[in-house]
Structures are given as structure tokens and as C-alpha cells.
Amino acid sequence: MKKQLSLSQESFDRLLHWLHPDREMAGLKYEEIRSRLIKVLVRRNCNCAEELADETINRVASKLDTIVSTYKGDPALYFYGVANHVFMERIKKRSLPLPPVIAAPLKEADDDYECLEKCLEQLSPESRWLIVEYYKEEKGEKIDHRKALAEQLRITPDSLRMRAHRIKAALKKCMLDCLMRAEG
């Protein structure tokens, strides 16, 4: 993530004025936005929600000169969009590298692993994380792990299953394309 920006009093005042001309109302709106940013990030299981909310506010404040002249609508929505980008940066940064490819004696197995690795890299960080987590455990542990995963994402087990199915279908198509290219 980018280096933490510090918010000067002048920048903060401009930000408040953008939120509402009345300073008291602007302060209330600021607190509401910050509070909602934190709640949204907590729901996404972000363990540094306050830090990312502040990072979001600082980024918006640093771009205020550009935003004021072009942005139309509720400023809160702009903050939420920036927060999403900040959160995705954090996910990309903390994404675990793919496990090393296990050497297999067969050329066919090498192609399979190589294609799987390439196809996984093409997924978004969220999708890659979800599919790896979904298939992480085996047998009885798998059920409990998937229930916990659904709870962590705050979705039903059926929704989790459907997301995993869609990602798996995309991976399967990518794998078939990749293997066809490897053969040809």
C-alpha cells in the first residue's frame, strides 16, 4: 500500500467544506462516512479497518482539487469507491504466493501444473483466495472449513458453493485452452 499520507489542517478543512458548507453538518457527515467505512471494512474481515478508513480519507483529501470540479453526487459514495480500491490493494499485497509446483515425472503432469498455475494467476486476488480456501481441506474437515469460510464472507453456504463453482468453471475453461495450446 502507498505510504501513509498525513492530512494537514488546510486539507481537512477543504474536505469538510466539500462534504457540507456548514462546518457542524460537515463534521457529522465526516464522522458518519468514517464510521461506515470502518463497518464495511470490518464486514470484509479486515483486521485494520480503522487504518484503511483513514488511508481512504487521506487519499480522497489529497485528490480533492480534482474531485470537486468533476464529481457529481453524494461524496460518501466516492469515499466507498476509494475504500474498495484501498482494500483490494491490501488483499493483493497480502495474497500468499502460489505454492511451488511439485515436480512430476510425466510431461503431461508438468503441463497440467503449469497451466493451472497460469490460470490461477489470471484470477482476481479475491477469486484466487476463495478457490484455494474452498478446496483447502479434505474429508470431514472440508465441511467445517467451508461453513467457517461462508461465515467469514457473510454469505450462505449455497452462495459460497455457487461462487466456487463459477470460479472452478472459469479455471476449467482456462485449463482446457492452455492444454490445447500446449499440445498444438
Residue 3 has a pLDDT of 44
pLDDT at 154 exceeding the cut of 60: yes
CB 129 within 8 A of CB 95: yes
List the one residue out of 75, 79, 74, 77 whose CA is nearest residue 54. Answer: 79
Residue 32 has a pLDDT of 94
- Cell numbers for 67, please give them: 474531485
Residue 1 has a pLDDT of 40
Convert the pLDDT of each residue in 137-152 to its tens digit: 887 788 888 998 898 8
Instruction: Please give the average per-residue pLDDT across 45-67, as a whole number.
Output: 89
pLDDT at 23 exceeding the cut of 90: yes
Instruction: Please give the average per-residue pLDDT across 112-134, as a whole number.
Output: 88
